Structure 1
Amino acid sequence: MKLYPIQCGNFKLDGGAMFGVVPKSIWNRTNPADQNNLIEMGMRSLLVEDGKKLILIDCGLGTKQDEKFFSHYSLYGNESLEKNLAKFGFIKDDITDVFLTHLHFDHCGGAVERNPKNDSYQTAFRNATYWSNENHWQWAVNPNPREKASFLTENILPLKESGQLNHLPLPTIGNYGFYPDLKMDVIFVDGHTEKQMLPVIKYQDRTIVFAADLIPTAGHVPLVYVMGYDTRPLLTMEEKEKFLKQCVENDYLLFLEHDAHHELVSLKMTEKGVRVDQTLKFNDIFGY
């Protein structure tokens, strides 16, 4: 097995929304805001090469939205999914599976693209199986008012129409299951959105958890640092507390999808609770 971090682009979001009730004087130390109160965000996917499988976990915003849409998110830099796949010798047609932690636009927008011949929508990974779960799918196609702006029809329905969409069954006991088709464990969490999925991957002598929106940046590790975007913030804290304890006890590394500057973090227990121990570069630990 080989793992590759794939940067899909960078954008900015309101720092207050990203940290909920935590005062700016505190979160600004780890995630400094610009003059418009915006903080830098990454869209970092993880590519898993395992035998004949080439699994892409999340795929960023994509490029099919119009200029007005993208103007709300202050895109910056020149990183792209295609560019960083090519850096490791891959193209989109090589991908066998696209694992979508959830269907918010910044995680699944790259799964669908425009067909320039007829201005329709088509899947961007034509040889891949797409993975979601039935509970989250129903949540996304019948959105509540709070999340409706994050679930875009053009990102979601073409997956079903293509015939490429599969759903992972939910674990029968607890929130943790193993899925042999993907050769990975998955943790299900509900605070941010219904049945968000966090892949857990054993790699070399370490265990890596793709933290998605449970812990989007290194600045979100402290327990009460919960996003204003979460639909059930108190549940997020319950899930985080259990998850962080598990990570410390088992020396897991967190792969950070939205941190513009840090790919991985290790954790430690302190008198104030779980905190970041080290921020790490993927290449420094595993090489490419």
Structure 2
Amino acid sequence: MNLHPINAGQFKLDGGAMFGVVPKSLWQRTNPADANNMIDLTARCLLIEDGDKLILIDNGMGNKQSDKFFGYYHPWGDFTLDKSLKERGFHKDDITDVFMTHLHFDHCGGSIQWNKDKTGYETAFKNAYFWSNKNHWQWATQPNRRERASFLTENILPMEESGQLKFTSIPERDILNNSELGFDILFVDGHTEKQMLPMIQYKGKTIVFMADLLPTVGHLPLPYVMGYDTRPLLTLDEKEKFLNLAAKKEYYLFLEHDAHNQIITVKNTEKGVRLKSIHTAEEIFN
């Protein structure tokens, strides 16, 4: 097995929205804002090369939306999904499976593209299956009013229409062991219904793809919960349970949205679970 970090693009979001009820005087210590109160974020995906499978976890916003749409998210830098795959020696046609932690547009927008003949939407990974779960799929296709703007029909329905959509099993408890894709999956419900966090065994280490349970290093303190979360009190409980386990088991946490820190480990302190060490993906994966 080989692991590759794939940067699908960089963007900015309002720091207040990213940290909920936490005052700016606190969160700006780790996530400094610009003059418009926007903080640096990224769409860091993970590519798993395992035998005859090439699995991509999440895929960023994509590039099919209008300039007006992208203007809300202040793109910066020159990373793209295609460019990052090419730098690793791959093409989208090589991908066998696209695993989506959840169906918010910044995690699955790259799944679908406007075709080159400009006649409609099509899957961007023509040889891949797209993996979600039934509970989250229903949540996304019949969205509540709070999340409706995050679940874009053009990102979601073409996967089903293509016949390439598959669903993982849903566990009786929090963790699905040895899923269909060969890794464990932690299910969490605070951010959105049945978000899935891959837990990958790699060279004696456990790598956890954190998605939106822990967007950045700055979100380590328990009350630092995004304003986007549908059930923030549940997120707080899920974070506490997971971070205590991560400190005990010495997990490596792969951060999807932290523009400046790729992988971290954590430790228990008198103030709770805090940062232990910061690593590059190359350091951990090689």
Shift of 1:282: 1.1
- For 2:285 and 2:45, locate their aligned partners in 1 and report how far apart those are by CA, in whole Å: 17
- For 2:171 and 2:93, locate their aligned partners in 1 and report how far apart those are by CA, in whole Å: 31
Structure-1 residue corresponding to 2:65: 65
Deviations 1:53-92 (A, max 9, x none): 1000000000000001000000011001111111111000
- For 2:154 and 2:119, locate their aligned partners in 1 and report how far apart those are by CA, in whole Å: 12
Structure-2 residue corresponding to 1:165: 165
Shift of 1:217: 0.6
Does residue 270 of the first structure (1) align with residue 275 of the second (2)?
no
- For 1:14 and 1:180, locate their aligned partners in 2 and report how far apart those are by CA, in whole Å: 35
Matches for 1:170-209 after TM superposition, within 5 Å? 170-172=170-172, 174-209=173-208
- For 1:118 and 1:23, locate their aligned partners in 2 and report how far apart those are by CA, in whole Å: 46
Structure-1 residue corresponding to 2:53: 53
Q: What secondary structure, in the 3-state scheme, does the structure 2 residue paired with 1:10 have?
A: strand
- For 1:141 and 1:199, locate their aligned partners in 2 and report how far apart those are by CA, in whole Å: 23
- For 2:196 and 2:179, locate their aligned partners in 1 and report how far apart those are by CA, in whole Å: 15
Q: What secondary structure, in the 3-state scheme, does the structure 2 residue paired with 1:197 have?
A: strand
Does residue 146 of the first structure (1) align with residue 138 of the second (2)?
no
Shift of 1:241: 0.7
Structure-1 residue corresponding to 2:278: 279
- For 1:181 and 1:268, locate their aligned partners in 2 and report how far apart those are by CA, in whole Å: 31
- For 1:169 and 1:94, locate their aligned partners in 2 and report how far apart those are by CA, in whole Å: 25
- For 2:87 and 2:118, locate their aligned partners in 1 and report how far apart those are by CA, in whole Å: 31
> Cα RMSD between the aligned structures?
0.7
- For 1:255 and 1:275, locate their aligned partners in 2 and report how far apart those are by CA, in whole Å: 15
Structure-1 residue corresponding to 2:233: 234
- For 2:157 and 2:63, locate their aligned partners in 1 and report how far apart those are by CA, in whole Å: 17
- For 1:227 and 1:138, locate their aligned partners in 2 and report how far apart those are by CA, in whole Å: 23
Deviations 1:83-120 (A, max 9, x none): 11111110000000000000000000000000121330
Q: What secondary structure, in the 3-state scheme, does the structure 1 residue paired with 2:149 have?
A: helix
Structure 1 unaligned spans of 5+: none
- For 1:175 and 1:286, locate their aligned partners in 2 and report how far apart those are by CA, in whole Å: 27
Aligned residues: 286
Amino acid at match of 2:165: L
- For 1:104 and 1:131, locate their aligned partners in 2 and report how far apart those are by CA, in whole Å: 14
Amino acid at match of 2:100: L
- For 2:245 and 2:282, locate their aligned partners in 1 and report how far apart those are by CA, in whole Å: 25
Deviations 1:184-242 (A, max 9, x none): 00000000000000000011121010000000011111111100000000000011111
Deviations 1:125-166 (A, max 9, x none): 000010000000000000001000000000000000000000
Deviations 1:236-286 (A, max 9, x none): 001111111110110001000000011100001100000111111011233
Structure-1 residue corresponding to 2:108: 108
Shift of 1:177: 0.7
Does residue 223 of the first structure (1) align with residue 222 of the second (2)?
yes
Structure-2 residue corresponding to 1:248: 247
- For 2:98 and 2:143, locate their aligned partners in 1 and report how far apart those are by CA, in whole Å: 22
Q: What secondary structure, in the 3-state scheme, does the structure 2 residue paired with 1:138 have?
A: helix
Shift of 1:180: 4.2
- For 2:9 and 2:119, locate their aligned partners in 1 and report how far apart those are by CA, in whole Å: 24
Contact 2:11 2:74 in 1 (8 A): yes
Q: What secondary structure, in the 3-state scheme, does the structure 1 residue paired with 2:93 have?
A: helix
Q: What secondary structure, in the 3-state scheme, does the structure 2 residue paired with 1:34 have?
A: coil
- For 2:167 and 2:187, locate their aligned partners in 1 and report how far apart those are by CA, in whole Å: 13
Structure 2 unaligned spans of 5+: none
Provide the TM-score with structure 1 as the length reference.
Answer: 0.98
Point out the more displaced range, 101-110 or 175-184.
175-184
- For 1:251 and 1:46, locate their aligned partners in 2 and report how far apart those are by CA, in whole Å: 20
Point out the more displaced range, 177-186 or 127-136.
177-186
